[in-house]
């Protein structure tokens, strides 16, 4: 019993396309990572600077929300539209965010009112 391995050959055009696509994708990854580091630095700076808690808390929550969206789309490859299940994943993601925000607003209202 011999097993033959399938060897796929690529043309020069396919190789150049893949190389360019990987270069663009890596650039996006590095830029998103730099943005997240900058947002974290801003959050730490506002805390160290001694601003009031009423300013710091909403700002940190806003920056955290931005980072969650960036991480989902960049590092979880949600920006790749080639996946056939992407619509289902986005539906569940946004549904979860909606439910979480609803509970957050409800419990905040109960606690502070």
- 51: helix, strand or coil: coil
Domain that holds residue 106: 82-113
Same domain, 92 and 56: no
Predicted pLDDT at 48: 94
Number of residues that make up the chain = 113
Same domain, 3 and 52: yes
Number of domains in the chain: 2
pLDDT classification of 1: cutoffs 50, 70, 90: low
Average pLDDT, whole number, for the chain? 83
Structure tokens given for 81: 């539209």
Assess contact for 108 and 65: CB atoms under 8 A: no
Same domain, 76 and 93: no
pTM of the model: 0.62
- How far apart are alpha carbons 18 and 11 in whole angstroms? 11
Same domain, 74 and 99: no
Greater confidence (76 vs 25) lies with 25
Same domain, 39 and 8: yes
Same domain, 66 and 20: yes
**Mean pLDDT of all residues in 57-84:** 77
Same domain, 18 and 57: yes
**Mean pLDDT of all residues in 17-42:** 90
Greater confidence (87 vs 26) lies with 26
């Amino acid at each position: 019993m011999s097993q033959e391995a399938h060897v796929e050959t690529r043309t020069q055009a396919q190789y150049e396309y893949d190389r360019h696509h990987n270069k663009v994708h890596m650039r996006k990854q590095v830029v998103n990572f730099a943005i997240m580091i900058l947002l974290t630095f801003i959050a730490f700076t506002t805390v160290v600077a001694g601003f009031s808690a009423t300013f710091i808390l909403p700002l940190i929550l806003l920056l955290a929300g931005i980072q969650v969206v960036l991480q989902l789309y960049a590092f979880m490859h949600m920006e790749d539209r080639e996946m056939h299940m992407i619509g289902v994943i986005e539906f569940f993601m946004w549904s979860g965010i909606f439910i979480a925000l609803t509970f957050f607003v409800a419990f905040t209202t109960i606690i502070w009112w």
